[in-house]
Amino acid sequence: MTQPIFMVGARGCGKTTVGGELARALGYAFVDTDIFMQQSSGLTVADVVAAEGWPGFRLRESAALQAVTQPNQIVATGGGMVLLAQNRQFMRDKGIVIYLHAPAHALARRLEASPQAHQRPTLTGRPIAEEMEAVLAEREALYQGVAHHVVDATRSPDSIVCELLQTLRLPAA
Binding site, annotated residues for Mg(2+): 16, 32
159-166 contact pairs (CB < 8 A, 24+): 160/14, 160/18, 160/100, 161/18, 161/21, 161/22, 161/25, 164/22, 164/98, 165/22, 165/25, 165/26
Which residue of 8, 13, 128, 170 would you call a contact of ligand ADP, by CB under 6 A? 13
16 binds ligand ADP (CB under 6 A): yes
Report the amino acid identity of residue 4: P
Cα 43 to the center of its chain, rounded Å: 19
**Nearest distance, CB of residue 1 and ligand ADP, angstroms:** 27
Interface mask toward ligand ADP for 26-65; x: CB under 6 A: ----------------------------------------
**Nearest distance, CB of residue 131 and ligand ADP, angstroms:** 13
Q: Name which of 119 and 166 has its Cβ closer to Mg ion.
A: 119
- C-alpha–C-alpha distance, residues 163 and 141, integer Å: 23
Cα 149 to the center of its chain, rounded Å: 14
Q: Name which of 1 and 8 has its Cβ closer to ligand ADP.
A: 8
Q: Alpha-carbon dihedral of residues 50, 84, 28, 42, nearest 10 degrees?
A: -20
Which residue of 71, 156, 167, 171 would you call a contact of ligand ADP, by CB under 6 A? 156
- C-alpha–C-alpha distance, residues 156 and 167, integer Å: 16
What residues are designated binding site for substrate? 34, 58, 79, 139
Q: Which of residues 99-138 bind ligand ADP (CB under 6 A)?
A: 110, 114
Q: Which stretch binds ligand ADP (CB under 6 A): 14-22, 35-43, 56-64, 142-150?
A: 14-22
- C-alpha–C-alpha distance, residues 122 and 150, integer Å: 26
Q: Which is nearest to 119 in space by CA: 31, 173, 48, 44?
A: 44
Residue 64 contacts which entry, Mg ion, ligand ADP, none (Cβ below 5-8 A, type-dependent): none
> Where along the sequence are the contacts to Mg ion (CB under 5 A)?
15-16
